[in-house]
Structure 1
Amino acid sequence: MEFSKNLSRERKARGLSQEELAARLGVSRQAVSKWETGEAAPDLPKLLALADALELPLDTLCGRETADGTPAVPAPTEKAVSPTAGVSLRLWQGLCGVLALVLLAGGVWIWYQRRTLVPSEDAPAESTLPDTFSAAGESFSWDSARGILSYRFTPGIADETCSYQITFTGTDNVPHTYDALYSGGVCTGSAELTPGDVYDVTVSVNDDTGSRAALLARSLTVEPGNVVRWTPAES
């Protein structure tokens, strides 16, 4: 199974949305979507992070091994071999093992060289986003009739070409990520949360060159009487 289909299958098997997986990796939902459709492929660090996030061996994620640890390609039918053939087989196995180690070392060396000595004409564009990102002016209100939390905040990077998201992480450490619509210098939206739970709130900005994230509020909770309380990040 090719990587894109394998990634989609394993993500869905764990009940994760593309937004939730993207939040764990610190990338945009669009990036995860392109990986699953085959339009793009993650680099090696992101591939390793994906394997960790899905709690899978790298070979399984890449389709080289099934989830139970057996090879993805069926083993050949066993045939009787002569003693001399067994010696030759072990010799070939040894040579193949050495060759695999050489290829692995070469691959690591090439990857390192590409990261440190990429020619200028092939170098990826550096992120146009500032090194730091912050948000302020946050406000939250609870709509008991619809059971949703409305939010509003002012991003430190205000650009209509960027996309913004907000993530609520409760006591179960499961992030819940929502798009934050930007208009007129502020971001707004709504989220489905559990009253009484306590959440840390982070926001992120994304463009075609990268992403930045910042803590917006701590210990957000909805108390009886539809009162929303939180601690601003800067306090």
Structure 2
Amino acid sequence: MVTRTRTRMRVGFMPVVLLLLSLAACSGDDNPDGEKSGTAMGADAFFGSFVGEVSGTEALVAVVAGPAEGEKGSGAVQIYLSDGSGLSEWFSGPISGDSFVAESDDGDAEMDGTLAADSVTGTVELPDGTTAEYRATPPSGAAGLYDLTISSAGELSGASAAGLGVTGQITLGEPGSGMLRLVDGKRLDFSVTQTPAGDLAHLRAGQVRLIVLSGGELRGMAKGQPSDAGSVDLLIQSA
């Protein structure tokens, strides 16, 4: 992996969500079908949510760009990348003009990108050393990056980075299954695969992180609540 010198920025998911909601309320840039375009800050940087695919892989990517916590006039990105079958990376980094370089939390992957009002494009260097291109666009309908919680009974609840609520269920077992009920009324079914508990994407117990595309395709991961049998990680992808 190419070594670069950078300022490492860690900003929490929920603070960024609240800031993005504030920006959206001020800008009023939502169109009738729910699509959110990027919000310009200054001449170059665009803040907002973007989702898309990573070329040549099964991975989906979600980018959330917003003001850097505690640093007036600066921006930062948070990025989640998942293929639903073992690849699950959380990135963060500062925005410089309309571009960024972001490193994964465990330092084994890196992304760069260019922000515009209608897209984020760039490359990702994966943990195995391969490089792939990605493109993400503003989500429409109920698409987006979701941060959810899972109860001990398998009930899901939470919201996207744009504030869209969601509920659902996960049924454990081999193979497992689940269902999301989106704010637009769509129901998305998905498969669940258990894997021994680790530290993929640095999830806390009971946390679920999902990327949902406009067409209903989804990828993500969850960390189950501790039980007598111990904790498990759950790999999630469209059924």
Q: Give TM class, smaller chain.
A: under 0.3
With structure 2 as the length reference, what TM-score do the two structures score? 0.22
Query: Greater CA radius of gyration, 1 or 2?
Result: 1
Q: Which has the higher contact order (CA 8 A, sep 6+)?
A: 2
The structure carrying a bigger helix percent of its residues is 1
